[in-house]
Amino acid sequence: MTRATPAGALASHPEAGDRRETGARPEAGVHSETGDHPVAGDRPETGDDPTVPATGVIETLTDVRSTHLDNTRDVHVYLPAGYDPLAGPYPVVWLHDGQHVFARTGLEPSWRVEETLDRLIGAGLLPPLVAVAVDNGRDSRGAEYSHHVPYPRDPRALARGELYERFLIEELRPLIADRYAVTEDPAATAVLGSSMGGLVSYHLAFRRPDVFGLVGVLSPFLVFVDPVTLDETPVHRRQNARGPARIWADIGGMEGLITVRHTRDLVDHLITDLGYAPDREVRFHEDPYAPHHESAWAERVGSALLHLFGDADSPLTRLRLPERIVLATGQAQASVAPVGVRADGCVYSVLGVEPTWTPLDALRALGSARVAPVRPGVVELAVTAGGHTAHGVVEVVEGGSDALLEVTLTTSADLPPEETVYYSGLVTTRVAAGTYHGSWRLPRGIGLGGAVGRGWRCDGLREDGTTIRDPFHHDGDRHIRLHVPAWSDPNAEQAQRIEAEIEPAGGDEASTFEEETQ
């Protein structure tokens, strides 16, 4: 079955039983009567206001079956305003975790991609393109998004990424091509996702650049960091040959153990070892205050799409550095990349720069806007790119590469002894009834969300009922004492979702880093 929803219209979620069959199902598991597509934008709720962009249409193909994976899922297809099959073929972007891609047809929190596409296409900054958002496999999500090693948080999991790849390319892609006027040109075909969706996008693009010539890797889950031991297990394959033509990679500075370092190491490998041109072929962005959450990806997805589908020659219009960067002498390296803004609005960290500083012996250059601190002191920094120069200050202090974090949690609730309590995704130890403690040496500068949890959607609450969440960058030894008077009830939240006729997203990985590590 299909549903068509104007992307900008307020549409209620369909009832769970609304499954209108349109005919016999073909081998790929779905049949949707082709008929005449609604011309996207024929029903925009914009009135006569020329400043409001015309809205696209989102169609949902329900219960699309995969013989390779032996399961079904919904697939949501955005058609740009003015979509006309005769005007195709259109560029296409494939997105994972489709339940959270479009606000009008999916779950909150959402990437709100339809709003970004309406705005950028309406402004002429992107070509009209089709977006295909593929729902995840719920409980099978971790396995399906894993190519290199089994999903590390589930000891029973398998690596089913190759089967998911075959589903996308051999089953779903022909179905979409049969129904919609989308291109088969890899130079105009992108695959994009976040977290484990970023992981699978990275593998898909390098395994099949003949299909996906463009890739967006947002907050990728590249390395599993054990929340108890802090041991690291890479879950991605390090590539030894070039793949897609253009790559976008980004990371937030408040994503906990999904670290900036892991993503930046990947980008440096692409530039140094595989020869990708920084800023032009591979573009990277580090947002120091962004969490591991859909709201952050909604902020950055526009820049990703502009890099992948927009004007490669859009000029740089602004360049800025943080007012002060603090480094410790024991840190092996740090980024001093300025943030650039291009004329089309793309925001990114400019890597193709050669920073200069005084005094000269305070820092050591490592390439790609990275430096190593040499001695304590205040350093005046300057970077130039695109005819613009930005100035900042680097303060180098004495200290090691890591710092102590000690946390004591107390709670009024009478929790069972076997209950696990997490702080920012890190596992604490029960030392007495209602008291939990943790002590870790963490990399200096890592960003933590400051949340307390007991598992899926069970969050620590303040007296006023709001979620405890006090983010910070761990830039020195820190001792935290925190009282948790109450906890959210995940069963109540699920009941509210069902009552609202919205199915929960499921799966092993939640919307925030703290939930992801539980």
Task: Tell me the C-alpha distance between 463 and 486, whole Å.
Answer: 7
Closest CA to 508 of 110, 139, 73: 139
CA terminus-to-terminus distance, the chain: 36
- Whether 296 has a pLDDT exceeding 80, the answer reads yes
Answer whether 0.75 is exceeded by the pTM.
Answer: yes
Q: What is the pLDDT of residue 512?
A: 40
CB-count exposure of residue 346 (10 Å: 0-12, 13-18, 19+): buried
User: To 5 degrees, how large is the angle CA 76–CA 58–CA 516?
Assistant: 45
Contact 93, 305 (CB under 8 A): yes
Mean pLDDT, rounded, for 226-232: 93
| Tokens, residue 441 | 């040496």
Pairing of strands 377-385, 356-358: antiparallel
HSE (CB half, 13 Å, CA atoms) of 219?
A: 29
User: To 5 degrees, how large is the angle CA 196–CA 198–CA 201?
Assistant: 110
Task: Tell me the C-alpha distance between 440 and 402, whole Å.
Answer: 10
**Domains present along the chain, CATH in parentheses:** 2-312 (3.40.50.1820), 319-397 (2.60.40.1080), 403-516 (2.60.40)
Mean pLDDT, rounded, for 180-192: 98
Closest CA to 80 of 44, 48, 105: 44
Pairing of strands 246-254, 282-291: parallel
CB-CB neighbours of 492 under 10 Å: 10
Please report the sign of the dihedral spanned by the C-alpha atoms of residue 138, residue 143, residue 147, residue 152: positive
CB-CB neighbours of 227 under 10 Å: 23
pLDDT tens figures, 325-353: 999 999 999 999 999 999 999 999 999 99
% helix, strand, coil for the chain, step of 5: 20, 35, 45
Q: What is the pLDDT of residue 507?
A: 32
Q: What is the pLDDT of residue 153?
A: 76
CB-CB neighbours of 110 under 10 Å: 20
Q: Is 6 helix (H, G, I), strand (E, B) or coil?
A: strand
Q: Is 349 helix (H, G, I), strand (E, B) or coil?
A: strand
The band of 496, judged by pLDDT with boundaries at 50, 70 and 90, is: very low
Q: What is the pLDDT of residue 414?
A: 82
pLDDT tens figures, 447-461: 999 999 998 779 999
Q: What percent of the chain has pLDDT over 70?
A: 85
Task: Tell me the C-alpha distance between 431 and 280, whole Å.
Answer: 53
